Structure 1
Amino acid sequence: MLSRRLAWLRYLPGLTKDFAQAQCLREYCDKPEASEQDGKREVRQRQEATLQGDYTLHYNPPSYHNSKWDSVASQGHTDNDEDEQCLSILAPSFRQQSNCYTVSSSRRLSNSKNTLLEIALNNVSEPETASLPQSHREPVPPDVKVDTRAFQKCRPEYASVTLDLTQRPPPIQWDQALLLLHKVTILKGNMQPSDVVHFLKELSRLHPENTPLVRSDTRFVMLLRYSVENLHHFTQCQLLDVLRSFVWLDLPSSHSILGLYEAELSRRASQMTFPQLLLVADLWRCIGRQVPQFLEHLYGSVSSCIGLMSISELVQLLYIMGEGRQCPADLVRPVEQLLMHHVHKLEPEEVGTVCLALFKSQTSISEGAVNQITDKAHSVVEKMSDFAMVNVLKLLRFSHLDHRAWLEAMAQEVPHRAHKMGVQGLMHVALACSALHYRNDCILMPVAERLPSLVSHCRSKDSCKLLWAFGTLGVLPSQIPGFYPSLIDSLRQKKSAFQRYPEHLLTGLLGLVFVSQFPEDLITLALSPEFIRVALKSPQLELKKDLFTLDETVALELPHWTGPRLVSELREEVAEMLWKYAQSDVCQKPEVVQAECALKDLLGGDQFVRKRMILPHTRSIDLEVHLDSTGQPVPVSNRNHHCYHSEQLLGLHAMKRRQLRLAGYRVVELSHWEWFPLLRKSRTEKLAYLHCKLSSSLE
């Protein structure tokens, strides 16, 4: 009978795996040991063990991590851990021009998700934790909780398109749950769709501490089996009730029956209104499951109702797009236009959600639209939560757009907020400043002072990206005495994580060498043959250039170094790759071409000027001039070599000048604020400027 009832599932695309596991569920439930008496005995034994103080360990996810419905309302990984996918994207540059030779603090990663382990239906642990070896886990509790869904409290209209995770159903007692499970074994095959919905709704009212006991009960597994059998008999309202129940029951997002529910809801999508589609998408978000098949139907319905969409529906749609990490290309312009129509009406938390959604979904909107959103944020910045404020910085970082008024406001806001912000919020503040080349000590010093007390909460990537940000902006150890030592110690404690995430260690070490910090034990690890093999193994990560930069820096600045080095073949390969790219791009820029031509005219011919990369690991070109027996280079490739509106060089380029002097060169700067205006001037004026520069360097 079950085979006949489930035969229709065989024809649904992409569900072969889920169907097979549903069949396994049937076999599991039909075994003699899954009887009612055994189920009661199992529950009784667990309760007795608890009462007697036994140290029997039962599967209880909430004891070790936030449940999904709770983590969405706090600082869980599902809503807030987006850097690996978003930070590496280079958006079209606006006022800040992109710099091809700037080291990125996060390399290009694959957008594909890790495959979730689909194991026994009544014992599925969190996929990201279960799939990692013990040595690779970093079970760090959140230091400061934030409500990532606070925007849904801004308007009563959100109630129709979202699930309020702060309003659990009225609770029931454990003995009531046992009675419900007993009724499941009595009804069995006579269960109607309404019965299934009733049982799931009632069981979902249990206290979160007891839901793991219910999920592992064989009678609950039997109830799930009957829910699958009745799947195509449920009304739409019943389907939504079941999905809500799964949220409150904290059903693991990798549970195989959820694939069947996604397929059924996708099949019915054409019958749903747009608010219903948004609600279903939100329920999947609360469960923590990626549902690309259903989201395709949601996005496909947008164009037909874009003109009727309310503010709450638009913001919720953007939120869903952000959590799904995608905005279809054909929706970017319509959504942008509607957003601009409503932007002046957005509440402070809604502004933060819009910014985060655009950042997570890697959606490049126009410069004017980013400016209008940031203008709105600036007008309400004092009312924004720390979380919303940080999200605005994420959008500016992604867009490479400097918004002067907002950045100046950060110099006022961050000092009095930093003492209560968490690690990730502080990290994103620092990363935004480094991405925009914006050094403002009113922002950076409070962040640096707060972090040593939070270092136990830092993941490996938090520590490394913070070191990168401060090193890039040239904040010296003497200015923030406790900052660098505490984060270096943090890296030492998390060495095992770098076998899985080698890019993080290189990010942190490059930030350190920018400010002349050389933790030799960590450098030895990064240049060891084993680590290099791991770093070069992944085709999605391009780490050769970072390894080359670190290796050559060690050779120049640590003359006593006897530790490992890159093999010469790899060094030559990367140097050639960088030079070829420079010839095709940087060498063709007007500022470089005109400087080279003017120097040749000034000095009397091609033989006196040599264009090359003296230090290829610093990723920029030089014009080397031979005036006498000691060559004196004239480095030119860029306004992006300096901090925003400042004469201070960024970390990589400050390191280059330091190393050129170590190599015996005398550096003559053609600063962009002097040379760029001369590009429009006469040849005589350019020659006079260059002559003055060279002459003064000999004095």
Structure 2
Amino acid sequence: MFCSVYWELLERSVLLRDASGLDEEKEAGSPAVVSAVFRQPGNPYTVSSSRRLSSAKNMLLGLALNGEAAGKRNKPVKNQKGNKLDVKVDTRAFQRCRPEYSSFTHDVSRRPAVLHIKEALLLLHKVTLIKGNMEPSDITSLLCELGRVAPEQTVVVRGDTCFYMLLRHTMESLPSFTHTQLLEILQSFLALELSPSHAVLGQLESEFARRAGVMELRQLLLAADLWRSLRCSVPQYLERLGDVISRHFGQMGPPELVQFMYVLGESRYCPASLLPPLEVLLMRHLDRLKGEELVTVCLGLFKSQSSLSEGAVRRLVDRTLAVIEHVSDFGLVNVMKLMRFSHLDHVPWLEAMANEVPRRAPQMGVQGLMHVALACSALHYRDDRILLSVAQHLPQKASHYRSKDAAKLLWAFGTLGIVPGQYTSLYSGLTEVLRERQAEFQRFPEHLLTALLGLAFAGEFPHDLLSLALSPTFIRQASQLQKMELKKDLFTLDGTVGIELPGWTGPRLSPPLREEVTKQLWDYAQSDVCLKMEVVEAESMLKELLGGEAFVCKRMILPHMRSIDLEVHLDPSDKPLSLTSDPLVGSPASDEGSCGPLGWEAGHVGVNLTDDLLAQLTHAKNTLLQPSACPARCPNLCPVEPQGERGGILSVGVDLSDDLWHALTKRKGLSPAVGQVPSRPARRRLAIQVTNRNHYCYRTRQLLGLHAMKRRQLELEGYGVVELPYWEWLPLLRRARVEKLAYLHCKIFSSLEAAKR
């Protein structure tokens, strides 16, 4: 009789606590703040551990991807209807490929029958009755039962003081649990939605790390998957997992391998020592992997920033292409991410995307379309069928954008030379998204800079956003950002505004900051770009052609463009002038040999094309470099067929036209014809650019956005641009001196003839 009355009273008290607990939750507004950590005075486990999700920094795109790591921590933004940011994707679809996954992964769909909250609270009361006599099996059983409550009732369980006591007993008994019991406890914490920063999880991680060396492979994988599902950063456990997993490689079949790659990706962690054996294992099982498993491997490699050999990545993409009809839209994007990270120019896959992306684009989300466009820009691959389908379906999802999405899309389209006229609403729509998301730039300033640079490539300059980016407050915020270097981006944007917006009255960078970044860029250029063989040889040959070191200056004409040029000045008679006499010329740092003040012999015009030299040149076409001698990385360019006596000079695609022939056969300086009044300035300035294949879209002669913008700005500054394209200049590096001199003579003086007309 007494027991029945007791239990009746207990049930009533439970109901009262249940109701009051729910009322308190409503008043508090957020259930997440209820019992996040222990609060009991004197409890030795009350110290909460501050945890943050790990992230990886993508360094692939330089200007574009400075903010990749920060973007991964960007919280989802909801639209006005309360929908989630993008279309839903199943990131764990690969686990349905084989039944074996169920033994070492967490499956939310296998949730047991729901336990009523009254029964849960009755179980919690048992903790006070048993007190210090709880065995590990009792603790495990209670936690597993409590994990069956409905998700909306978990806050009531977590807020009960008896739950605190149960967690204390759990931590005190950690060494006594079996491996299986520890995994069951971790699963119950996941079901109870325990906060990732809860103190008990820190203790539990240490215990799992201590035991990793004696756990079975599937137990290790299940523990890692549960930690991932809890959204916990567990570096200690992952480090131990990396140390011991190699012992189990012999037991790994396709499902275990794919799950391990998935865990590595979600953890953003992969020791370099694991990559060689993982590559061997992956190649061994590659032909047995199914479509969704293949793309999960791709995503794992991308997220963990793990670099396999080029041959292994190419085989992985080959295999995925063979089963592309079984690959989801999400999986297709994962392959593009890996290709972007690996800089893999897998042409068959890219050509297949010209059919797949237009077909899939209508149901793809903004983020998926953004990653497709971003991968194309990273690979410098322009295919209008892909880009048009992306552009056509973006405006329909404008409410789902993040600032990151808009910024990366503007960067991608601007890099690939897509001008606003080709896609009328694309640039205006994305610019409006930036204005709507201005608040996000407080946390992620890099997104604004990425977007504005992409717009600048296309010749678009939104004054309001530029004023924001160049404001003292924004500059100070961006300059103090420790995780990335944004000063160079600000410098590029500031220099562009100064040239392309001459009437600009808005804010600009301070002179000290410009000088600081200029010195950084020049120091780097001197240690890298200035030492490249093709640049050194062009400088040497130009000095010989024009008469000495005083007539060629290797410098950053436009420092904010982060590249160098060879500057040459000519007088009205097209004779070289000493650059030391021009006050506008000078390197950012007064380094010896930059533009040294060397003497000039009056009337000297460099190498004279004598009859003997001209005979050598016109006779040389039978012995000069053939297109087959072009380096392996040179694109498949169409050679210019020789026409009669004035055949293609040097057989590298330069047609010996009337103008070039006239330039070659002139014996003296190129003076204007009698009776003509020259309209040229007293000093003609030339910027001679030694380009390489990374300046162009893949397998084309179309300049990428940054380099097209630089050429545009050089012309605005009054320079004539003379390009030494890599498909012509690189093959000549191994040819005779006379051939190089003739080529440079043609390039420089034929450009002058063209300018006259």
TM (norm. structure 2) is 0.76
Residue 56 of structure 1: how far off its partner (Å): 4.1
| CA–CA distance in structure 2, aligned partners of residues 218 and 479 of structure 1 | 65
- Structure-2 separation of matches of 1:259 and 1:564: 49
Q: 1:633 aligns with which of 664, 687, 691?
A: 687
Tell whether 2:409 aligns with 1:454: no
| Aligned partner letter, 1:677 | P
* TM-score using structure 1 length: 0.82
1:647 to 681, 687, 701: 701
Provide the residue aligned with 2:710 in structure 1.
656
Corresponding residue SS for 1:437: coil
Q: Which residue of 2 aligns with 1:26?
A: none
1:684 aligns with 2:684: no
In structure 1, C-alpha distance between the alignment counterparts of 2:359 and 2:386, rounded to whole Å: 10
Cα deviation, residue 47, structure 1: 5.5
- Alignment map for 1:336-351 (pairs within 5 Å): 336-351=279-294
Counterparts of 1:340 and 1:40, CA distance in 2: 59
1:180–1:199 CA contact under 8 A, matched in 2: yes
Q: Of the candidates 33, 38, 44, which is equivalent to residue 19 of structure 2?
A: 44
Displacement of 1:435 = 0.8
Match for 1:684: what amino acid? Answer: V
CA separation of 1:576 and 1:56: change in aligned 2, threshold 3 A:
closer
Q: Which amino acid aligns with 2:86?
A: D
Contact 2:691/2:725 (<8 A) preserved:
no
Q: Which residue of 2 aligns with 1:88?
A: 59
How far apart, CA to CA, are the structure 1 residues paired with 2:741 and 2:109? 70
1:407 aligns with 2:367: no
Larger radius of gyration: 2
Which residue of the partner structure matches residue 419 of structure 1?
362
Where does structure 2 lack aligned partners over 5 or more consecutive residues?
A: 1-9, 34-52, 572-682
659, 672, 675: which one pairs with 2:729?
A: 675
For residue 61 of structure 1, report the CA deviation from its aligned partner: 5.6
Cα distance in 1, alignment partners of residues 375 and 459 from structure 2:
23
Write out per-residue CA displacement over residues 340-374 of structure 1, whole angstroms, 9 at most, x where no aligned residue. 11111111111111111111111111111111111
1:591 aligned to 2:534? yes
The superposition leaves residues 52-74 of structure 1 with CA deviations (integer Å, 9 ceiling, x where unpaired) of xxx74543469xxxxxxxxxxxx
Give the counterpart letter for 1:359 in structure 2.
Answer: F
The 1-side partners of 2:533 and 2:64 are apart by 25
Matched, 1:173 2:116: yes
Deviation digits for residues 264-314 of structure 1, max 9, x if unmatched?
222222331122111111111111112121222222222222233212111
Q: How does 1:413-492 map to 2 (within 5 A)?
A: 413-492=356-435
Task: Tell me the equivalent position of 2:680.
Answer: none
Asked whether the 8 Å contact 2:693–2:726 carries over to 1, the reply is yes
Aligned-residue CA RMSD (Å): 2.7
Distance 2:450 2:264 in 1: 29
Deviations 1:602-624 (A, max 9, x none): 22332322211111111111111
Stretch moving more, 169-178 or 325-334: 169-178
1:73-94 CA-partner distances (Å, limit 9, x unpaired) = xxxxxxxx99x7242258xxxx
Give deviations 1:393-419, integer Å, cap 9, x for gaps: 111111112111111111111111111
Q: Following the alignment from structure 1 to structure 2, what is the Cα–Cα distance between the partners of residues 246 and 109?
A: 29
In the TM superposition, residue 541 of structure 1 has moved relative to its aligned partner by 1.6
Distance apart, 1:255 and its partner CA: 1.2
Match of 1:16 in 2: none
* Aligned-pair CA distance for 1:482: 2.1
Summarize deviations over 1:210-229 as a string: whole Å, max 9, x none. Answer: 22332233333333233223
* Contact 1:475–1:515 (Cα < 8 Å) also in 2: yes
Deviations 1:640-693 (A, max 9, x none): 111111111111111111111111111122222222222232222222222222
Q: Which of 483, 487, 490 pairs up with 1:544?
A: 487
Which residue in the other structure is 1:531 paired with?
A: 474
Deviations 1:215-271, CA, capped at 9 Å, x for gaps: 233333333233223323322222111111112222121111101111222222233
Matched, 1:59 2:30: yes
CA distance in 2, matches of 1:46, 1:580: 64
| SS at 1:626 equivalent | strand
In structure 1, how many angstroms separate the alpha carbons of the residues matched to 2:354 and 2:424?
21
**Structure 1 gap segments, 5+ residues each:** 1-34, 63-80, 91-101, 115-127
Is the 8 Å Cα contact of residues 423 and 451 (structure 1) preserved in structure 2? Answer: yes
For the residue of structure 2 that corresponds to 1:482, the secondary structure is helix
In structure 2, what is the equivalent of residue 392 of structure 1? 335
Q: Are the structure 2 counterparts of residues 391 and 199 from structure 1 closer, same or farther at C-alpha, using a change threshold of 3 Å? A: same
2:271 corresponds to which residue? Answer: 328
Which of the pair has the greater relative contact order for Cα pairs under 8 Å at 6+ separation?
Answer: 1
- 2:167 counterpart of 1:231: no
* SS of residue paired to 2:684: coil
Q: Which residue of 1 aligns with 2:63?
A: 103
Aligned to 2:640: none
**Count of residues in correspondence between the two structures:** 611
Tell me the percent identity: 57
CA distance in 1, matches of 2:287, 2:378: 27
SS of equivalent to 1:698: helix
1:267 maps to 210
Structure 1 residues 371 and 182: alpha-carbon distance in aligned structure 2, compared to 1, 3 A threshold? same
| Worse overlay, 648-657 or 232-241 | 232-241
Residues 506 and 223 of structure 1: CA distance in aligned 2, closer, same or farther (over 3 Å): same
Q: Distance in 2 between matches of 1:485 and 1:566?
A: 26
CA contact (8 A) 1:586 1:637 kept: no
Please give the secondary structure, in 2, of the residue aligned with 1:478: coil
Flag the 1:417–1:618 CA change in 2: closer, same or farther, 3 A.
same
Residue 159, structure 1, aligned to residue 102, structure 2: yes
CA distance in structure 2 between the aligned counterparts of 1:187 and 1:517, rounded to whole angstroms: 72
Which residue of the partner structure matches residue 719 of structure 2? 665
Q: Is 1:356–1:395's contact at 8 Å kept on the other side of the alignment?
A: yes
User: AA paired with 2:745?
Assistant: H
- The match for 2:499 is 556
Compute the displacement of 1:192 (Å): 3.0
Contact 1:36 1:185 in 2 (8 A): no
State whether residues 108 and 540 of structure 1, in contact with CA within 8 Å, keep that contact through their aligned partners in structure 2: no
Alignment of 1:301 with 2:276, yes or no, is no
CA pair 682-36 structure 1, distance change in 2 beyond 3 A? farther
Aligned-partner Cα distance in 1 for 2:401–2:30: 27
Alpha-carbon deviation of 1:484? 1.6
